[in-house]
Amino acid sequence: MTTITKMTSGEMKHLIQRFFNVAICVLFVGFQSSELNAAAVLVLGDDFYVIGVAANSAPVNPPVDPPSDVWGATIVSNSSRPERSWISSFGDVSVTGISSGSALQTAINNCADYCVIEIDQLPLTGTININKSKVKLMGKSGNKVTFTGDDSIFSVGSNTREIIFEGLVIDGQDRARNSASVFGIFVDGHSISKVQIKGNTIKNLYSESDAHGIAIYGTGNTEFNSVSDIIIENNTLDDLRTGSSESIVVNGNVKQWEILNNNVSNVNNIAIDAIGGEGTSATRTVEGRVLPGLFDAAREGFIEGNSVTNMSTIGNTQYDGNSWAAAIYVDGGRDISISGNSAINTPWGHEIGAENCIETSNITLSNNSANGSYFGDLVMGGYTAEGYLENTQINCNPLSSSDSAEGHGYVSNATVKSNSFSSSRVDVNKVELQLRIRRTVIIEPGIIAVNTDGVVSGDQNSIRATQ
């Protein structure tokens, strides 16, 4: 089937760089992606139109290395920030008050066009599902949402847009209950856009296996059915037992998002995480090998002005003692700016890693701080010997690989500078560089440049200590 697919210049440039290892290309033949076999690319102004026929199989694995003369991260443009103009559409909407979970679900289901629903005291035993667009849930002064069920408290589904959660107090209450799985606010699916989660308090969620305070999961498998324009700001998350999961996470096919000015404290695993390669978006098969999908990566994001205090995995049954968890972590994400955040009393302050068969790329970590870290203030790189590109016997199916067999990814084109890493007594190093860190600039005390020509093999790093 012949198709014409429109891409922005940034999207096309990224795709070209990954597949062809060149910086700019405007016309070619024989291009193949996971979506189509293209005959040509037509350039009209700033837009690219890929003209081709649908592909029956995935492409060969793209090279991990862009041109060797590209070092460090490219600044993520402010044009990638989520759009906000839609928020004012709720300004003149009359407010509906509710007093029960069933009344709330009915009000949501009956929403036809821009509904504002005010919540006061709301005991819930099951999930509130938001499958309608243009809905705002607003907490009344002194409100409290209590939850004694399992699974999600609030869940946003596919094909929705313009959703706001503002000023809610969500309390999981019973520490001894230990729900098998509990998410505070869960955005999960494809083709979801324009979600603001602002000024909420989420506390006392307990799970021995899997919990999130705020989770954004993009399950779509193309650029065009992603989750996008997500704003997570000014929330307080406290006393969360999240098991193997995180307090705030963007995971999978999620683009154009912000995590701004949130306070996370007293949690027993990673506080803020941007993830790719976990199989949240559909996998692909390359020459018989199952790999993460091309769009299975949180991207075009900003993590700014957040505070993480008192995080420890001691007592977390998913780990053996104090694990190498970081307060702020990018694992498989790309095109992300991390600045103005603080981490106090955590195992690691910050981490840029690659657990799965994926490349974490174009990450800027600047003007952040860490203090009181147990292991160190920054850890980077893949952590298991042999990259998945060199060793094709590594199981790269994220749906069947085990945590103990992961860590074979790559980190490329990161920039780390102007941070205040001031932990005075660390068990490992203030900055710990692991494996397969490529064409990265790290300007921090004690960093020694290595392979500054970019020529590497195997697990070697290529790092410059100046720009």
| Mean pLDDT score across all residues of the chain | 88
Instruction: Answer positive or negative: Cα dihedral of 289, 246, 197, 156.
Output: positive
Residues across the chain: 467
pTM: 0.87
Give the model's pLDDT for residue 197: 99
Which class is 80-464 in CATH? mainly beta
Q: Which residue has the higher pLDDT, 378 or 174?
A: 378
Give the model's pLDDT for residue 16: 44
- Least confident residue range of 2-11, 25-34, 58-67, 267-276: 25-34
Tell me if residue 20 falls in helix, strand or coil. helix
**Residue 41, pLDDT above cutoff 80:** no
Query: What is the residue extent of each domain of the chain?
Result: 2-56, 80-464
- Least confident residue range of 11-15, 74-78, 285-289, 398-402: 11-15
Is the separation of the CB atoms in 348 and 271 below 8 Å? no
Is the separation of the CB atoms in 117 and 128 below 8 Å? no
If you average pLDDT over residues 80-85, what whole number do you get?
98
Please state the φ and ψ torsions of residue 246, each to the nearest 5 degrees.
Answer: -130, 160
Tell me if residue 328 falls in helix, strand or coil. strand
**Residue 12, pLDDT above cutoff 70:** no
Give the model's pLDDT for residue 149: 85
pLDDT per residue over 195-252, tens digit each?
999 999 999 999 988 999 999 999 999 999 999 999 999 999 999 999 999 999 999 9
